[in-house]
Structure 1
Amino acid sequence: MVDTVENAWATPDAEQPWAELGLKADEYARIKEILGRRPTGCELAMYSVMWSEHCSYKSSKKHLSRFGVLGDQTPRGPLLAGIGEQAGVVDIGGDWAVTFKIESHNHPSYVEPYQGAATGVGGIVRDILAMGARPIGVMDPLRFGPLDAPDTLRVLPGIVSGISGYGNCLGLPNIGGEVLFDATYAGNPLVNALCVGVLKHDDLKLAKATGLGNKVIMYGAATGGDGIGGASILASETFDADGPAKRPSVQVGDPFMEKLLIECTLELFAAGIITGIQDFGAAGISCATSELASAGDGGMHVDLDTVVLRDPTLSPEEILMSESQERMMAVVRPEDVDTFLGICAKWDVLATVVGEVIEGDRLFIDYHGERVVDVDPRTVAHDGPVYDRPSARPTWIDALNADRAEDLPRAASGAELAEELLTLVGSPNQADKSWITDQYDRYVRGNSVLAQPENSGMLRIDEETGLGIALATDNNPRFCLLNPYLGAQLALSESYRNVAASGAEPVAITDCLNFGSPEDPDVMWQFIESIMGLVDGCRELGTPVTGGNVSFYNQTDGVNIHPTPVVGMLGVIDDVADRAPMGFAYPGDAVLLLGETRDELSGSSWADAVHSHLGGMPPMPNLAAEKALGRVLIEASKRGLLSSAHDLSDGGLAQSLVESSLRNGLGVSLTLPAGDTTTWLFSESPARALVSLSGEHYAAFAELCAGAGVPVTRLGEVTGEGVLEVHGQFTLPLEQIRARWEAPIRDAMAAH
């Protein structure tokens, strides 16, 4: 029996499974207050998912509003779209704009690694497409439990295969990201997906249902029972107790359908016949209809009987909540409907008129000729509960901060230093990631200029001028556990430095804020501190937040993950020919260390890999120094002064030397300055970079650094000797280093 609006009025005391759907008692009471009656089954399904943490941001909305103080200006011009839209859009000059966003697909990727990761890529790609842009690249910051843990060996291959399988089939280059292993992610991997797209200013599209009488069209894949989750509880347990078992909770992706959807949508844009558009992500039709209607200038009427189903047993609640992939919703003028349907037919894309824009401010949804939804769409999409959850500085953090890594034993000889370097580069977090990244096509479309393992990914935008963009994603959860405010700023600083090191000007960020349970005051304190760190840092760096994602409830057996606010930085480069790669390029080049090195080892990779230690205070961010370093790196790249540039971050100078040497198989001979050798090699002080350049450019570069106030330390020179030599300490063959560096992930996967 279908639960209609009429029936809801007639049976006010009917029991409903609001608690099983994740609603609190006061939330259910609020829904009844809004409607003036109990909700129908379809309405309850809509409210339950749209008011969920994932869709409504009810625990984070209050704090995310702080990003608003950053405004809408970037160093390159205004934001054309920002927080609140499906993705941020940045003016990069020459009538070109770029849209980019990062989101999480953590929990589905644990349940079903391949499909969870694959549909994470598909979903973020559709967000970018819905802004009017052609998607041109993806990135994936990943976090796993210990490399040798059984669950890691279960989820890692599937997640990587899902990312590569979906992205490669779409023909989108995967140009970067990160992979990090830590016990905090055991049983709760993080799969964050970033997509970037390009458009001209006039191509921008928004998710608004406007124009009385305009038609609402669903197009793409047919609607199935995948990804429904909670709505199946409502459908089977309440309205059809003898119905099918609970539907699968993880969506199933079809990248070939998505590729058709992309090309079809771009042709629809070019035809000028779309007045509003929304992708289907979480909450399916419930989300698309309520968000389009609430952002528009009227109401909306939808008939569920017109929705094309691939499973005829679906209840109306399940049709509304299905998260089947590869679907979009567009608003089209009546006179353009035939053209719209014709273009979809050309691409073999299903398309059906399912409703229209109507007078008033109501969302009406009918099923089998009866009304099952009658709501104000704003109450579903935007006016959900907002919580000010308790937060408290953790009682355990003082003891953690007092346990300083700076007090750990240090190498007493060159031989010990050499072994520590090998231990560092042979640890999973600093080891070669090519077993993972080689599964990704990084060069498809022909515009990839830099890709992993470079400092940042770089894509050419304009073939005539060479205009391009760079992207980097970064976060060190160890720093964020020790001090979430400083840790967030260090993530921001590292992403800024990575983009600048490639020669691009950092202009804006997107963020994916991965945290534990918001019902834990410790976690809310970490969350608030991280946001404040990003706000203060972005204000000083001049990089506004364009949008992003919050992922809460990342925990296993009640243990929260370390706070993991991942920062994605967008940079712009006037001519990609001016880029600076990370690898040493020419024997005889001078090798210079830029920036100030301090005794900052707490939270470092050295402390983790060599001593299995986590404690103390993280390095102190220096945003003014970060900006100065960035100006030097960008200008030096533009003037062609540098042969290579590599940021210093995880693993400090030691890791940067190894990666710069192994990139092209060139050695390095250096002398460490006076002072503690452990500090010089392994400190993770920010605002530092390692560069190489020819002697003829040395004076000009030194003058550039002096003018910007950036300290320069000459370490030595690039050699063709095939060794990493630290005079007076040790000499290590590059092949010995490479053997340790390449082994961990490759061997773990081979043994699995």
Structure 2
Amino acid sequence: MTLAEPDRERVTETLDREPTRPEAALFENLWSEHCAYRSSRPLLGAFESEGEQVVVGPGDDAAVVSLDEDTYVAFGIESHNHPSYVDPYDGAATGVGGIVRDIISMGAYPIGLADSLYVGDFADEHPRYLLEGIVEGIGDYGNSIGVPTIAGSTRFHQGYEGNPLVNVACVGLVDEQRLVTAEASAPGNKLVLVGNATGRDGLGGASFASEDLGEDAETEDRPAVQVGDPYTEKLLIEANEVLIDEGLIESARDLGAAGLGGASSELVAKGGLGADIDLEKVHLRETGMNATEILLAESQERMVYEVRPEHVSRVEAIADRFDLGISVIGETTDTGRYVCHFDGETVVDVPAVFVADGAPMNDLPTIDPEQPEPDLPEIDLREAMETVLASPNTASDEWVYRQYDHEVGARTAMRPGDDAGILAIREAETGLAITSGTEPTWTDTAPYEGAYATALENATNLAAKGASPLATVDCVNAGNPEKPDVYGEFAAIVDGLADGCSDLDVPVVGGNVSLYNDSNVGPIPPTPTLAMIGTTPDFDAPTLAVEGEGELVLLGAFTEQLGGAELLSQLGGADRFPELPENPSEVIEAIIEAASLERTTAVHDVSDGGLAVTLAEMAHEAGGVDATVPSAAALFSEAPGRVVVETTDREGLVDAVGDRIPVQSLGTTTTAGGLSVTVADEDETINYDAAQITEFRSTLETLG
């Protein structure tokens, strides 16, 4: 990939000369879709990002929201999609490293991760190979740096065969005194590079992430994939803590896409300043590197700090204490120009704001998506039940999350496997719940409605644990935006997310866009991953497992619309997406209150697989479920914004929430274990014991 001719003309006109080779490469990467959001930024204004709790919104390395006046949470999400196809282990591992550095660049200490993974058809060998490498990379990196992975999702769809998605979110703790931003503060301060030495790995990573994957990507694009070193990252995390504790940092940015050139130019441009950098000062891992390579290499575990001159020696001493490389590479200036020198020559001299934020936006044609007409298959109840329970999309994710350390840090109050993970934030005497994901079958069927439902589903996951949604970040993934039908789907999922979050009164405080997720097998399904956080009044929450001595209640309506349901993915057919509630914020408030009642003993949301999977997951050896539903369609519909509750006081539940959400009797729970479901209109009952349910849901156990 080279600098596009219209961009070259724009650069030449502004500079009044031809760009040097390093300048052209810098513009190519910083003006790529991955860095500049050229096709997406015109649409992202739909998101509402303000709120009393929002301290730092979109535009920095990570967002920051307040839990109380003394405790803040830094929160971000990133994608590492193309690298994870070329090299699943290193691609996924460095995705974790990158989002963690985004958090520490805000002065925060990382305390939790959530990963959402999307790969091709589970029946095919290559997607399973990719998933195994991705999970191993995430596990090895996260476990080594001591940050627990407490939430996430894994989804399989043939549309990801040639382009898997790895979306990773991270949360960290910070306070007002420790908060640092990526906005350079004053001229005359030093720019200090701390961390690993710079090598040639990851060259052109930003531009690589802004083009479709070709058939030879696994071999031809391997040099564009970074190589991670979690042990250096751990040292960098701890050194960053000391630097922040001692007040030595004026501003900071991690080195990710476009490497040093991206981080340092964006840092000074955001502060309305310039920079003067000597590229020969950068500590290197390889000899013979030229200016372009030093400027744009995406070697991992590196941070650039703005440091007052009188603090440089102390920063050097701390870096030496943690055995980290350090280079004083230049200083901030009041010229507004981004200048780099190498081998006695000025190789870059451009306006900082122009290179960092001057990319022209794309005005692309769209074709609006349409929902399918109903075409429903005949349903054999037992076959459908067992097929859906055994689907890799509804099967237990335990094979994935047991490879992650989710206890390190001693904050985990609810482990993976439930609707949301919960961390104990003792500093604020509150629980921090997090959930992450989307359902690609929903957005493949109805991009707008499916994305809206994604917002509602993530909020429901939190509410089921008694958590009030606080804020969300998005990772919006789509195919080649130059195709009008793909761009139409992309526009629809952005609008759906924006409207859903607005109606829920949940600010979208940051995010990431990943386009050109297209390969020789076609574009991916539009995939609007959300990571959402919420707060609980304490660290306890009802689990999804029934205790066995209560009534079973559905909060929400029975529905028979099957659009986007796993049932149709497995058996074929189509339908329109289920109708969405008119009052989603009231629905969430009602679920939160229901989950918080003293006589509520279990709560679980209804999503992938519908009531069939929800009831199966709530049943176990010691607690059984005996339920009746009106029809097979009602059993498998995935209409969002609903939960199943086990309660020992149904009347109290109705009194508390019945004016805001329908309360439907489903049956009872027992101490016999297992699952019994009666479908009323077919007058048929199916029964499974706990061992059978476990066997059906063990599909992913065939991996590794």
TM-score, normalising length: structure 1 = 0.89
Q: Does structure 1 residue 126 correspond to structure 2 residue 101?
A: yes
1:705 counterpart (651, 654, 657): 657
Structure 1 residues 642 and 390: alpha-carbon distance in aligned structure 2, compared to 1, 3 A threshold: same
2:548 counterpart (562, 587, 591): 587
Q: Which moved more, 1:38-47 or 1:530-539?
A: 530-539
CA distance in structure 2 between the aligned counterparts of 1:725 and 1:383, rounded to whole angstroms: 61
CA distance in structure 1 between the aligned counterparts of 2:207 and 2:153, rounded to whole angstroms: 36
Q: Does structure 1 residue 472 correspond to structure 2 residue 448?
A: no
Deviations 1:497-527 (A, max 9, x none): 0011011001211111110101000111111
1:628 counterpart (586, 589, 593): 586
CA distance in structure 2 between the aligned counterparts of 1:638 and 1:436, rounded to whole angstroms: 30
CA distance in structure 2 between the aligned counterparts of 1:201 and 1:317, rounded to whole angstroms: 38
Measured after TM superposition, the shift of residue 297 of structure 1 is: 4.0
Measured after TM superposition, the shift of residue 665 of structure 1 is: 4.4
Q: Superposition pairs for residues 291-306 of structure 1, below 5 Å?
A: 291-306=266-281
Q: Which moved more, 1:440-449 or 1:204-213?
A: 204-213
1:457 counterpart (417, 421, 441): 421
The one-letter amino acid of 1:32's match is T
Measured after TM superposition, the shift of residue 71 of structure 1 is: 4.3
Q: Does structure 1 residue 612 correspond to structure 2 residue 572?
A: yes
Q: Superposition pairs for residues 127-206 of structure 1, below 5 Å?
A: 127-206=102-181
1:737 counterpart (690, 693, 696): 693
| Paired position in structure 2 for 1:408 | 377
Measured after TM superposition, the shift of residue 357 of structure 1 is: 1.3
CA distance in structure 1 between the aligned counterparts of 2:206 and 2:662, rounded to whole angstroms: 60
- Per the alignment, in what secondary structure is the counterpart of residue 408 of structure 1? coil
Q: Does structure 1 residue 746 correspond to structure 2 residue 701?
A: yes
- Per the alignment, in what secondary structure is the counterpart of residue 45 of structure 2? helix
Structure 1 residues 419 and 328: alpha-carbon distance in aligned structure 2, compared to 1, 3 A threshold: same
1:548 counterpart (502, 511, 514): 511
CA distance in structure 1 between the aligned counterparts of 2:143 and 2:303, rounded to whole angstroms: 21
- Per the alignment, in what secondary structure is the counterpart of residue 253 of structure 1? coil
| Paired position in structure 2 for 1:600 | 561
The one-letter amino acid of 2:605's match is D
CA distance in structure 2 between the aligned counterparts of 1:495 and 1:304, rounded to whole angstroms: 45
CA distance in structure 2 between the aligned counterparts of 1:557 and 1:661, rounded to whole angstroms: 42
| Paired position in structure 2 for 1:8 | none
1:40 counterpart (17, 20, 26): 20
| Paired position in structure 2 for 1:537 | 500
Cα root mean square deviation, aligned = 1.8
Gaps of 5+ in 1: 1-19, 234-244, 412-416
Q: Does structure 1 residue 108 correspond to structure 2 residue 108?
A: no
Q: Which moved more, 1:532-541 or 1:42-51?
A: 532-541
**Maintained 8 Å contact 1:305/1:368:** yes
Measured after TM superposition, the shift of residue 230 of structure 1 is: 7.1
CA distance in structure 1 between the aligned counterparts of 2:467 and 2:18, rounded to whole angstroms: 56
2:473 counterpart (510, 524, 530): 510
1:681 counterpart (635, 638, 661): 635
CA distance in structure 1 between the aligned counterparts of 2:118 and 2:152, rounded to whole angstroms: 11
Gaps of 5+ in 2: 209-219, 679-683
Pair member with larger Rg: 1
- Per the alignment, in what secondary structure is the counterpart of residue 11 of structure 2? helix
Q: Superposition pairs for residues 121-520 of structure 1, below 5 Å?
A: 121-229=96-204, 248-393=223-368, 397=370, 401-402=372-373, 404-405=374-375, 407-411=376-380, 417-462=381-426, 466-520=429-483
Structure 1 residues 462 and 331: alpha-carbon distance in aligned structure 2, compared to 1, 3 A threshold: same
Measured after TM superposition, the shift of residue 150 of structure 1 is: 2.3
Measured after TM superposition, the shift of residue 65 of structure 1 is: 2.0
| Paired position in structure 2 for 1:659 | 617
**Maintained 8 Å contact 1:494/1:686:** yes
Q: Does structure 1 residue 563 correspond to structure 2 residue 526?
A: yes
Measured after TM superposition, the shift of residue 486 of structure 1 is: 0.6
- Per the alignment, in what secondary structure is the counterpart of residue 460 of structure 2? helix
| Paired position in structure 2 for 1:59 | 39
Structure 1 residues 646 and 247: alpha-carbon distance in aligned structure 2, compared to 1, 3 A threshold: closer
Deviations 1:307-326 (A, max 9, x none): 00010121111000100000
Q: Does structure 1 residue 641 correspond to structure 2 residue 599?
A: yes
- Per the alignment, in what secondary structure is the counterpart of residue 473 of structure 1? strand
- Per the alignment, in what secondary structure is the counterpart of residue 147 of structure 2? coil
Measured after TM superposition, the shift of residue 574 of structure 1 is: 2.1
**Maintained 8 Å contact 1:225/1:247:** no
Work out the number of aligned pairs and report it. 688
Structure 1 residues 312 and 421: alpha-carbon distance in aligned structure 2, compared to 1, 3 A threshold: same
- Per the alignment, in what secondary structure is the counterpart of residue 715 of structure 1? strand
Measured after TM superposition, the shift of residue 587 of structure 1 is: 2.1
- Per the alignment, in what secondary structure is the counterpart of residue 497 of structure 1? helix
The one-letter amino acid of 2:449's match is L
TM-score, normalising length: structure 2 = 0.95
The one-letter amino acid of 1:259's match is K
The one-letter amino acid of 2:693's match is I
% same residue: 39
Measured after TM superposition, the shift of residue 338 of structure 1 is: 1.1
Measured after TM superposition, the shift of residue 709 of structure 1 is: 2.3
Higher helix share: 1
Deviations 1:62-81 (A, max 9, x none): 111222xx2411xxx33111
- Per the alignment, in what secondary structure is the counterpart of residue 644 of structure 1? strand
**Maintained 8 Å contact 1:648/1:690:** yes
**Maintained 8 Å contact 1:102/1:549:** yes
